Structures are given as structure tokens and as C-alpha cells.
Structure 1
Amino acid sequence: MIIEDSTRRFSDRVADYVKYRPTYPREVVTFVHAECAVAPGAPVADIGAGTGISARLFLDAGHPVFAVEPNAAMRAAADAWLAGFPAYRSVAGTAEATTLDAASVDLVIAAQAFHWFDKAGARREFARILKPRGAIALFWNSRLLEGSAFLTGYEALLQRYCPDYARVAESYPDDAAMADWFGDGFEHRTVFPNAQWLDFDGLKGRLMSSSYAPKAGDPHHEPMLAALRELFDATARDGRVNFEYETRVYAGRPLRDRA
């Protein structure tokens, strides 16, 4: 099972997630084709697909995608957004029990949700559903913590007003943890720049799409938004701030006999 209650963490944040979460660079797909020998048009399983952001990336590139997502609200949002893609399949399942057939896909991807998975269970399930010589590509947007007055101030704001922030931030694996997860199957690591230019409403929505952001009624909520407004006014240029990320990509092959 995924880490306790993580499958429900975003149920009341779906609207903000759909509107304000960033996509991923198209270079991720190009990288998978070139470095992982995944053919254009090969079937893909997107695990923890959420509202469909990562699935859309591969659907746009011509891949059939099985979007596996346990959260009903997020899955419904993906279904509505991606209904126009005949190659889109919506699947109610988890990283550890996808319900997909054995040896049914050429590529397993997982994006922003990977840090919530039970790592050993997900590794076994990914190996089960992949065809021989199938590949795994794990990627997510990692917000830059410094480099501008806005980025430094935003990190300080989260540290001050979001009690759950440190625990969630620490759950993202580092390079060493990813190399250990893949083991001898680890083949590639790369990073692509990514960014959102946000006005204040966009910045507020981006913050509130995060599972650790205190919601209305929490004593931290209003002071947090006041601090966000102050930070925006102090650092915006032409009415926007640059919300910068690194998109980190880890790719390799499954070890089918590893526990």
C-alpha cells in the first residue's frame, strides 16, 4: 500500500492542482526515446497519474497510456481533461497493485507521486507489468530553494507557516536513494530546467495545491497568505514571479528477482 493516507491527501485540492501545477519538459519524452530505447507509440503505464499532467506528456507524443491513480477525485479530473485521447485508459489502482496485466507495457513512468509509494512493493509491481527489456522512468519537478529573492523567500515562508512541509520535503529521494532503488538496473540520471511565470492568483493557487499548505480555518492559513502577498509584492517583476524547478529524471531497468 502507498504510505498511509497519501492516496487521499489531495482530494480537496484537485481544482488548484489542475489549474496551477506545472507540467514537465517535452525533453523528458525525447530522453526516454533516445536513452531508454522506448519506441514511439509503445504502451506506457503512468503510476500515480494524478490529474493527468504526466500522462498528457506521453499522450501528446503518441503513446497509449494506462493512467493508474488511486484517488477518485484526481482520477476524475484526469478523465475529464484527457477524454479526447482515444489512447487514454483510466485505471483505479495503486503503485503496488496496479491491476494491469503482467508484461503488458514497454515503459513505466511515475512523476510527482513517486515519493509516496512503498518502494519495495512498487519495484516488484513495476517489474511484473513490464515486458522483457521494458524500462522505468521516474521524474518530478524539484523546486529550486535559492537563486532569487523570491525563491529564498518562498522557502522561508513554507518553513514558517507549513508545519507538515519538512516531513513531505524530506520524503523525496535523493540521487543515492534512487541509485539504490534501481540497483544494478540504474542506467541514467539527467536534469532539465523548468519554470512557471505566475501572477499572484497563480502563486496562491500553486501554494494551495501543495498537501502541506494549511487550509482555510487553520490558524496558519491567513498569516501565510498575508506573507505570500508581501513576498509577491516585493519580488514580482511586471506582475509575475518566476517559480523555478529542476525536472529530475531517473531511468533504468527492473531487477525482477529483487525483493
Structure 2
Amino acid sequence: MQQDSIQRFSDRAENYDRFRPGYPQALLDYLGETTPITPDMVIADIAAGTGIFTELVAKWGSRIYVVEPNPYMRSLAHRRLGGCQRCIFLDGTAEATGLPGGSVDLFVSAQAFHWFDLAKTRTEFARAGRKSPFVAVVWNLRNTRSAFEAAYERFVREYATDYLSVSQRKMDTAEVRSFFAPSRARYRVFGHVDWLTYPQLLGRTLSYSFLPDEASPVLPAMTVALERLFQRHQRQGKVRLSYKTRLFVGRL
């Protein structure tokens, strides 16, 4: 992970923690069925952010290493996961996790894999993994099917600074599959829907690292455009954002 990919979320950590979408239960159920989850299993959530996905897998009762290099994000993960007695927090990256060698049975990464140097990450997972560890890669990818979703995508592209270069959309299926052992990755897509008020939509928009932050001189114009977009499409005070949540899971 390059330094910019770590620091770019520092001013967005609170919005990220409060307003980013969750993950569908069906994905967690499938992941639990695909990997032999037991209380003795050791999981590492790599680039865990504020712990949104970690909180879900923590319900399995396994020991979890929460690996996150950004101190602001990591502090919010501490807050979110304060009741998780089996969570161990590490200041590390995908390429240099700080994990003990041969210690991890399942690596998970949600909304972060596109930031990794895949060759270095694979070497690090092989070092820290136990035998042939499982790896699960998860993304929420916004749909653009409805009138609002298509208009919101145009809005994002208009105001974004480097959306096309950092977006998870650039990670195609073949590229992700190549990270896993040959023929050992399963790919599934799950549906997920959020209904957002305007404050929630604004908070989610401000959580994106490729859009102007709250100190930007562009922010007033952007928020006016966002509110107009919301008002055109809202129904009973909310707009609908739907996602296809992509899961790759297999052995290294």
C-alpha cells in the first residue's frame, strides 16, 4: 500500500465509520459455509478500516487480528470492536502485516484489495498463513441501474479527483482470481440495498477518498449539486442505492 492510500482516509474516518454501507448476511453465511469456521481458527482482517466488516466476522468467536495502518481508522475500529475480547489490533499493511509467521487460517479484506501490491501481499500472506490459508476478498460495488444511481455515478465522476484510477471497479475478475492458487477461488455476487436520507447520503459521499473533503473550496458547489440530485429523486425523504457485493474466496 502506498503512503497516499493510507493517509487519504485520515480526514474521512468518522464519515467512513458512520455512513459506509454494511454487507449482506447471505455473504457472511456463504463465507462461513465455504471456510471451516471454528473457535480455534485465526482470522486476519487486512486493511480493516474502522472495523465494519470485522464486526460481522467477530460474531464467529474466532481470534481476529485487526490490521490497519491508518491511526484514525484504527482508533475507530477500537471503538467499534471494544467488546471483542479476541480482537488483536496491529499497525500494519497488506505487504507488511506484522502478523506472526504461520499464524493465520483465513485472511479477509473488505473494500481494500484494490490498494494492495498483489505480488508483495501474496508473499506476506504465504509467510503469515498457516499451511494453505483461505483468503476472502469483498467489495460493495454501487449499481448504476436506476435513474438516481446513474445520476449519482455521473455526479461522482464530475467532482472526483482520481476516481477512475483508485476505484475498485478497475479490479477485474481475472486479476483477482490470479491472486489465488489455480482453480481455487470461488466467485459469488450478493445483492445489498440502502435507503438514505440526505444527511446519510452526504456523509457517505464525504467518506469517499476520491471526492473533495470538508476543507475543499469545491465543497459548497458539490453539496448544492448533491442536494438538488437528492430532491429530484427522493421518495418519502430517502433515495435508494443498491450494490452488488462481490466475494472471492479460496485458498492461497
What is the TM-score when the length of structure 2 is the normalising length?
A: 0.94
Percent identity over the alignment is 38
Q: Is the 8 A contact 1:68 1:94 kept in 2?
A: yes
Residue deviations 1:123-145, cap 9 Å, x none?
Answer: 1111111112320111111111x
Q: How far has the Cα of 1:215 moved from its partner? A: 2.1
Alignment match of 2:148 (pick from 144, 147, 150): 150
Q: Is the 8 A contact 1:29 1:61 kept in 2?
A: no
Decide which moves more: 53-62 or 7-16: 53-62
SS class of match (1:5):
helix
Amino acid across the alignment from 1:199: T
Task: Give the match for residue 13 of structure 1.
Answer: 12
Alignment match of 1:206 (pick from 201, 204, 207): 204
Map 1:158-177 to 2 at 5 A: 158-169=156-167, 172-177=170-175
Residue deviations 1:72-107, cap 9 Å, x none?
Answer: 110011011111111111111111111111111210
SS class of match (1:126):
helix
Query: Relative to 1, partners in 2 of residues 1:239 and 1:212: Cα closer, same or farther, differing over 3 Å?
Result: same
Alignment match of 2:195 (pick from 194, 197, 209): 197
Question: What is the alpha-carbon distance in structure 1 between the residues aligned to residue 19 and residue 41 of structure 2?
Answer: 29
Q: Is the 8 A contact 1:48 1:70 kept in 2?
A: yes
The runs of 5 or more residues in structure 2 that have no matched partner are: none
Amino acid across the alignment from 2:141: S
Map 1:16-27 to 2 at 5 A: 16-27=15-26
Map 1:200-239 to 2 at 5 A: 200-239=198-237
Residue deviations 1:191-246, cap 9 Å, x none?
Answer: 11112211000000000000011124534322211111111001111111111111
Task: Give the match for residue 178 of structure 2.
Answer: 180
Amino acid across the alignment from 2:166: V
Residue deviations 1:137-173, cap 9 Å, x none?
Answer: 11111111x2111101100101111122222226641
Q: Is the 8 A contact 1:185 1:253 kept in 2?
A: no
Question: What is the alpha-carbon distance in structure 2 between the residues aligned to residue 179 and residue 249 of structure 1?
Answer: 11
Query: Relative to 1, partners in 2 of residues 1:41 and 1:151: Cα closer, same or farther, differing over 3 Å?
Result: farther
Question: What is the alpha-carbon distance in structure 2 between the residues aligned to residue 46 and residue 186 of structure 1?
Answer: 20
Q: How many residues align?
A: 252
Decide which moves more: 24-33 or 88-97: 24-33
The runs of 5 or more residues in structure 1 that have no matched partner are: 255-259
SS class of match (2:178):
helix
**RMSD of Structure 2 on Structure 1 (CA):** 1.6
